[in-house]
Amino acid sequence: MILDGLNTEQRAAFKTWVENGGSFVGIHGAGGDPVGNYGHSSATDWKWLIDTLIGAQFVVHSAVMPGDIHIEDTKSPIAKKLPPVWHRSEEWYAFSASPRAKPGFHIIAAVDEKSYTPGRATMGADHPLIWWHCVEKGHAVYSALGHAGRMYAEPLMIQLLDNMISWGLTENGKSCSAGK
């Protein structure tokens, strides 16, 4: 993840940029590996990244297997042209807590754990995958999808990424309002 390599000064500049109206678009591994999972530190050492920017700590994932994603906010531009139920194979990320419980977080999509075998990567009935929120005056959108390189050639994954980037560009420089 690109944020792993930022030094203290660069982290401060990035944080200031987002908080003053910048837009962050994060996918899959941007959620950060839990510290110590792979014998090294990670971007999760930077608490602001996980607690504020992403809004949830990735803790474990399933094997790659098919499952059903339910688009909860079909009116969001982030969900434009995505089917209400999106069946695809993925390495399903689980988080220490659902960002839905945090004020100002807007869930775009969640995975139905009844549609696959989550194993240890369970979050139960509330398993969000795609969300956005305000970070001071800035915007952040995150998707846990996108484990394998081949997934980025899937038409619906391309649509999601296009939607996320377009949303980020449209909102960039505008003062964020959680009521949008």
Q: Is 143 helix (H, G, I), strand (E, B) or coil?
A: strand
Quick: pLDDT tens for 44-58: 678 898 899 999 988
Neighbours of 73 (CB within 10 A): 15
Please state which CATH class domain 23-171 belongs to: alpha beta
Q: For residue 1, what pLDDT is reported?
A: 45
* Domain spans in the chain, listed from the N-terminal domain onward: 23-171
Q: Look at residue 78 and tell me whether its pLDDT is greater than 70.
A: yes
Indicate the pTM of the whole model. 0.91
Q: For residue 143, what pLDDT is reported?
A: 96
With beta carbons less than 8 A apart as the criterion, state whether 45 and 7 touch: no
Q: For residue 13, what pLDDT is reported?
A: 95
Question: Kind of pairing, strands 58-71 and 106-112?
Answer: antiparallel
Q: For residue 179, what pLDDT is reported?
A: 59
Quick: pLDDT tens for 86-140: 999 999 999 999 999 999 999 999 999 999 999 999 999 999 999 999 999 999 9
Which residue carries 């959620």 as its tokens?
31
Q: Look at residue 35 and tell me whether its pLDDT is greater than 60.
A: no
The CA distance from 90 to 176, in Å, is: 31
Can you give the length of the chain in residues? 180
Q: In what order do the strands lie in the sheet with 85-95?
A: 23-27, 138-143, 128-135, 106-112, 58-71, 85-95
Instruction: Report which of 54, 61, 63, 79 is spatially closest to residue 142, judged by C-alpha positions.
Output: 54
User: 23: which strand partners?
Assistant: 139
Structure tokens at 86: 């999106």
- The pLDDT of 152-179, averaged and rounded, is 91
